[in-house]
Chain A
């Protein structure tokens, strides 16, 4: 089976930096996705990592360590609109399995 863990909730301040961690245990790992989901809306793609290292995309970066079964999503210069759930999803065994999501609240 697959097991994906991420914190349930986080709070951060506008303009700050926040790191959302995700740990996973899978077989046949084939990449890791991060999605953003605003309340009542569909999840939307943020990033994809299949090799170790950091992928940067504007204010958002995602890191992967396959040996440690660990990823994080880094959000810089937080804005109020970044308040959302962030879903870590593992691509393994030709299936995409999601973690429970981390609800991020950005405060002024």
Chain B
């Protein structure tokens, strides 16, 4: 248990569906992240939020839309996804935005997304 909770753990959605992934942390961290982990590829950073403000958008397609209503919650809204978007989506939080050991990321268990 890392203190970062993601729901749902598994999600199957059609290409025309709209769904949202949720991430919650009560570690008092100020930075939150979305990562994508595809088979045989490195963890890819998607978005970074620092003090609820989006500070990084790593050239992510607009069919992925993040939302950070407060420093404890992070959402990833999904719409009109493609089968190649099927992956494990990991949320993480850190005390600081990647500054020294404060940049240590605590990961959630991830949401296994399958787009059909």
Binding site for B on A (CB under 8 A): 4, 30-31, 33, 35, 41-45, 48, 50, 87, 89, 91, 94-101
CB–CB B108/A94 < 8 A: no
Report Cα–Cα, A43/B93, bound state, in Å.
12
Q: Is the CB of A31 within 8 A of B107?
A: no
A-B contact pairs, 27 of them (CB 8 A): A30-B98, A30-B99, A30-B100, A31-B103, A33-B103, A33-B104, A33-B105, A42-B107, A42-B108, A43-B107, A44-B107, A45-B104, A45-B106, A48-B104, A89-B43, A91-B98, A91-B99, A94-B97, A95-B48, A95-B56, A95-B98, A96-B98, A96-B103, A96-B105, A98-B43, A98-B45, A100-B42
B58 CB, min distance to chain A CBs, angstroms: 9
A-B contact count (CB 8 A): 64
Q: Which residues of B contact A101 (CB under 8 A)?
A: 42-43
Residues of B within 8 A of A48 (CB): 101, 104
Residues of chain A lying within 8 A (CB to CB) of residue B2: 42, 44
A107→B48 CA distance, assembly (Å): 39
Residue of B nearest to A31 (CB): B100
A16 to B81, CA, bound (A): 45
Partner among A42, A45, A50, A100 whose Cβ is within 8 Å of the Cβ of B109: A42
State A30–B104 Cα separation when bound (angstroms).
12
A94 and B104 form a contact (CB under 8 A)? no
Return the chain B residue nearest A92 by Cβ.
Answer: B98
Q: What residues on B are CB-neighbors of A41 within 8 Å?
A: 109
B51 vs chain A, min Cβ distance (A): 13
**In whole angstroms, what is the CA distance A89 to B103 when docked?**
11
